[in-house]
Chain A
Amino acid sequence: MSQLELKRNKVLEARFVADEDVLKHISDNGGVKVRKDRAQLALNVKRFVKKLENISDDDEAQEILEEQNYVAVLGACAEDSLRNGPSAGGGKIYSFQTPKRSGKMAELASELAQTPGKNVTFDSSQYPEKPASTPQSSKKYSASNKAQLKSKKNEFVSTTPYRLRKRLTAPSLRSDSESDYSASCSEEEEEDKDHKETSDVILDQKTPSKTRAAPTPASKKTPAKKLKEEMMSNLVEEYFEAHSSSKVLTSDRTLQKLQKRKLDQQTLLVLLNKAPPAFTAELKELNQQHESLFSKWMLQLHLGFSIVLYGLGSKRDLLEKFRTSLLQDSVHLVVNGFFPSITVRSILNSITEEVLDHVGTFRSPLDQLDLIMKRFKEDSSVELYLLIHNLDSKMLRGDKSQQILAQLASLPNIHLIASIDHINAPLMWDQAKQSLYNWLWYETTTFSPYLEETSYENSLLVQQSGSLALSSLTHVLHSLTPNARGIFRLLAQYHLENKDNPSYPGLSFQDFYQRCREAFLVNSDLTLRAQLTEFRDHKLIRTKRGTDGVEYLLIPVDNGTLTDFLEKEDEDM
């Protein structure tokens, strides 16, 4: 039985193996593959069980057919053959969590980097050198990889199996590292060590990424036989391993070490414009496909349906085009859902004030909605087209907002066309809301970048408010008395002195008062308090109460900006 199982497993693997696996399979006899194999096994566990069921008839084709039938019955999958592949690939995603190793990403990156751009299929036949390297199993896969790097030393260092090395050096290494690694997977720190070693020896070293990319595959070399025997039990173990530890293993590197300055929104845009656009012809074709649907959308909007667009890529341009080509002669309202401070209230306000020319205020959005509904029901000649970009944005996804929008959409003379992007967007709507919206779904994958949509976001890597904060700082300070400026300067200096202290709580009020007195800036703590209130109103400082009840003062501006500010002040003086 278990023999059979293994066989089955191999068969199914053939359908899902990524190219890398094929390569590894060829380059060494199974040794490297196994690790990956285990993951595969875990991923495909459902399928695997299913296989066991009809192990007797051994007919894969029929199996697939059955699966397709099942999918077809559920109506989850579109019929055309194009979609069948990816939906099956979804099994990779909808699966158990498996332990991830920190090197995996770099490994994949080097894998992808290796694939020549023009290469269509990653077929083993196109790599004649691979079979040649097969006999030398000691060099294995990473050898060919490292050939690219033209660094023999590096190869030597990194091919040493990590687990072995770790066993030898782990205690000393761990003792001086401040990371939160568990012992089982501390490749990263060693890798850092690698870097040091290699950089010592090799002066013409490439970007760290390349050296980094190389060693990781080496770590996957574990004896094959043992693992194959334990395949089944490992499946179980891996599952629990993945779920047991709450710690996450990632490297400790930070962007600051990388010496990359943060970009602000404007330079980002400039830089992106420099990047060459890709696949323009194909993108245009996609867009044309969608644009041919415009009149159909109009028809369906008029028949009482609402239209929702989904799929990867910004749909803003598409909707804009729809608007400019078909809605020029009718009243319409465009809502940028991605706008950070959009509210339902503002949408309702623009309907009542600008569309219906209503003057007056409302007690609650519900009252406002009632009025709108009444007005639209009374006068059937009033028509409104509502275009909402990103109906699923943070501000609009709340239950109440969706309820109100759904009720708007249910009016026969309000025509709603909206776009959604978030993967979980459909969860916003329960049955009742869905029937109010009366959606027709249209897939419009455009692949165009979400420029406008992400420009508001306080993105992770974009330095959003740096310049803005600095200018506001100087402006506010300029409007103050010299004494007040001095007070702020004092605080800022103290703040910068303590910037390396992670447990710095802020400057306590009493200390601050003392310092200000010594500098002849204030004469009583009341004047200081009055001054601080002014700062607080301008959001220049923040107060926090410590555990001992003492009031601490903080400047909520990052150190870089503050330094810049002080320098500028010095220049001015």
Chain B
Amino acid sequence: MSTSSVSKGCFVFKPSSKKRRISSPTADYFSEGKNDSEDSGLRFATCQLLWKQINSETEKIQEELNKQLFDNLISFLRQSHSEFQTKKTEWMCRMKTSEIPTAALVLGVNVTDHEVTFKSLSEVLQDNITPYVVSLQAKECPGIKHLLQKLMGQLMDRCVDVDSSEEEECVNISQKKIRCSMASLSKWYESVTKKTGSETPSKKRTSSSRHWQFPPIVVIFKDMESFTTKVLQDFIIISSQHIHEFPLVFIFGIATSPMIIHRLLPHSVSSLLCIELFQSLSCKEHLATVIDKLLLTTQFPFKLSEKVLQVLINIFLYHDFSVQNFIKGFQLSIVEHFYSQPLSMLCCQLLEAKKRVNSLSHNQCENIRGLPSFRRYVESQISEKQIALLTEDSFLKEVTQTLLEDLHIYHENYFPVLRCLHVFTTSLPKYPLGKQIRELHCACLGKRVWETEEYGSAVQLLRMLAKAELVAILQKCVEIFTSSSGKQFSNTVEKLEEFLLRFQNLEAETNEVQDVSVSSQKELQKKTDLYHLQKTLLELKESKRSKKLTKFEMLRFEVVDFIDSLVRSYLAPAEMQTLNEVVYFNTANILREHLNAAPRIALHTALNNPYCYLKNQTLKSDVGCISNTAPDICIVYKLHLECGRLINLVDWLEAFSTVVTAVAGTDPDSVATDQVDEIIHARFIRAVSELELLGFIKPSKQKTDHVARLTWGGC
């Protein structure tokens, strides 16, 4: 069946039911189209498992981060309508003012992350406060009518869900039949609350254990900014009329600033609201936590290389501030890694990996031998071992196991030392190595950090730290090392504690030193002779210049040197590690191409320099010029660049045919010129309509046979 038709734009293809595949064939696509298909099943399973773990971890992180916010919100909701629960009359008195309790939830500009937050928020509210939670989106509510419809619809559905199948009349009331108004809403609320109130005590307890007898109706406006002012105003005014009939609470989701409420609503309306402000966690902190929990840990075997991480962070910082997108990029890199790297089957927990090494096939062994890092390793070995590594599979497997273990240990050491260094560098002015740990991580992953200029200046600044600061930092470091899982750090911890002890002992000693200086000062005052005075002053100066370092300074030097040695031994770049290709995803290019593509550049390149794509020698030309054998559309495009806002089609056609005839034949008389002209005309028409499709030109009525240019420089 063809998919082109002049009467239809949609074509459905339904294979007969028996031909339809039943099982999920995702794994097949993973292995398809690749020559080294062995182990691909295993690889895919590992990939899926890893992604599942990481996904659940991110959800957990999100939940923890939101907990504080949600707790605040819940207590606000409880408190806002507590009077309604206890005494209805009192409530009515208070609500004479008809103020609606409102929570303004400032969420930040990363709109894409909000969906998750709202989803978990409404779940939390349903669990803790009320079954009547309604979330509204601006695009669903173009008018007040739609808004009320949506509101009622969601409430009725919820009611069915909560009371299960017992309330059959609820099911029968289809949402279309009800005239959607606030009056019917209040009637509905009355009936619902009465029902729960009059039910059997046992049932009541089960429901009221979570909710009160009069649970408030919570209306969440997910994207407050995009609601039409009129709809919002009307709804607020209407509901303020009914606030004494049922408890109503609003939650505004705000992406910009709380000022927007006052900008959207006039004073007469906003005075009907009793607004309390809630601030959600900033997306930067969220990202920091995610990086901390997903990347700076040995929990997950998969790692990102410096460039990849840089790309993901850049997308985050320069494009969307969205943690969801960051995680999506992380998912993509996992998939890409397992898809493209045959040895990624070893990218799992150490014990499992060791097992898998034993069952490696010969091909996979060859793959290992092909890794650049492994080759470097082989070259550093003695010649007999080299031969054994390159010829005997069993020996190779043994070595691989130890190498994998080494890699694991490297990571175990890397992260505590990194955190420790981060504690040091964040206390420095101007943050030579970056404020965030991710910057430090990138710096350490990419190259030998101790060879960089920034590290040099950081160490110099460290040598000038005050004692109090230094002690505090050292204590933090001790905490980091003791909490880390690496056993190698017992010595380090001891050493650090010793430093701390010595700092304490210093106090007494420093007093002595001060005494000496004081005595010399006194000596100075005693002398009255001018000559002697000059002499002693000179002496003092000399002694100051070549002055011996105080004990504190010596100790400080020692500490800094110790940290430096830790950095040098543990923070070697990952690329230097043997077998790092197994766990590190390296191709940042792919990630950037797929996540942050530049369609305009691609189009521009294809039009300006077709040689980039069509590797034909005749197309090769300098930058800025184009060969006249290029595809028609390129020539037409190039010609149109020379024009201003309007382009005369006749001129254009002639210019085009000049170019094309020059290519086609040296003697146009030999061919039937008429026909050639027709063909050129047709080609021109095609090229021009293609440019129109691409959005470079559009037909213009300003002048006959002219088109308007739409792109840069034409305006």
Contact = CB atoms under 8 A, between A and B. Distances in A.
A87 interface: yes
Most buried by B among A77, A333, A450: A450
Contacts of A136: none
Contacts of B607: 312
Interface string A311-339: 11100000010010001111111111111
Nearest to A357: B14
B21 A329 contact: yes
Contacts of A451: 686
B198 interface: no
Contact of A450 (B14, B613, B685, B690): B690
Contacts of A78: 589, 592-593, 598
A535 to B, nearest CB: 26
B463 to A, nearest CB: 31
A248 B644 contact: yes
Interface stretch (A1-9, A48-56, A226-234, A340-348): A340-348
Contact of A449 (B4, B609, B644, B686): B686
B625 interface: yes
B512 interface: no
B688 interface: yes
Please classify how large the interface on chain A is, using the bins under 10, 10 to 19, 20 to 34, 35 or more. 35 or more
A323 B3 CA distance: 11
Most buried by B among A212, A253, A451: A253
Contacts of B629: 117, 278
B112 A86 contact: no
Contacts of A249: 644
A279 B686 contact: no
Interface in A423-482: 423-426, 430-432, 434-435, 438, 440-443, 445, 447, 449-454, 456-457, 459-462
Contacts of A332: 12-13
Contacts of B3: 320, 323, 334, 336
Contact of B610 (A311, A338, A447): A447
A453 B627 CA distance: 27
Interface stretch (B79-87, B408-416, B647-655): B647-655
B594 A112 contact: no
Contact of B688 (A80, A85, A445, A460): A460
Most buried by B among A299, A312, A347: A312
Contacts of B322: 431, 435
B688 A295 contact: no
B354 interface: no
Interface string A277-304: 0110011011000001011101110110
B693 interface: yes
B651 A330 contact: no
Interface stretch (A93-101, A168-176, A484-492): A93-101
B602 A445 contact: yes
Nearest to A424: B695
Contact of A366 (B115, B140, B598): B140
A267 B679 CA distance: 10
Interface string B580-609: 000000001100111111111111111111
Nearest to B656: A109
Nearest to B610: A447
Interface stretch (B271-279, B427-435, B614-622): B614-622
A164 interface: no
B601 A77 contact: yes
Contacts of A275: 679, 682-683
B633 to A, nearest CB: 7
A102 B651 CA distance: 9
Contacts of B600: 423
A76 interface: yes
B649 A210 contact: no
A312 B602 contact: yes
Given A296-B339, A330-B15, A250 B324 contact: no
Nearest to A332: B13
B651 A106 contact: yes
B24 interface: yes
Contact of A255 (B5, B32, B650, B690): B650
A422 B694 CA distance: 4
Interface in A214-255: 248-255
26 contacts: A19-B621, A76-B596, A89-B604, A94-B712, A104-B643, A106-B651, A109-B654, A113-B659, A121-B621, A212-B654, A275-B682, A278-B629, A285-B615, A286-B613, A294-B33, A295-B29, A312-B606, A320-B3, A329-B15, A331-B20, A333-B10, A350-B10, A381-B22, A421-B694, A441-B593, A460-B699
Q: Pick the 3 closest A-B CB pairs, nearest first.
A: A339-B9, A441-B597, A113-B662
Given A115-B628, A268-B682, 10 more contacts: A283-B614, A310-B602, A333-B13, A335-B9, A342-B10, A347-B10, A349-B10, A424-B695, A461-B681, A462-B685
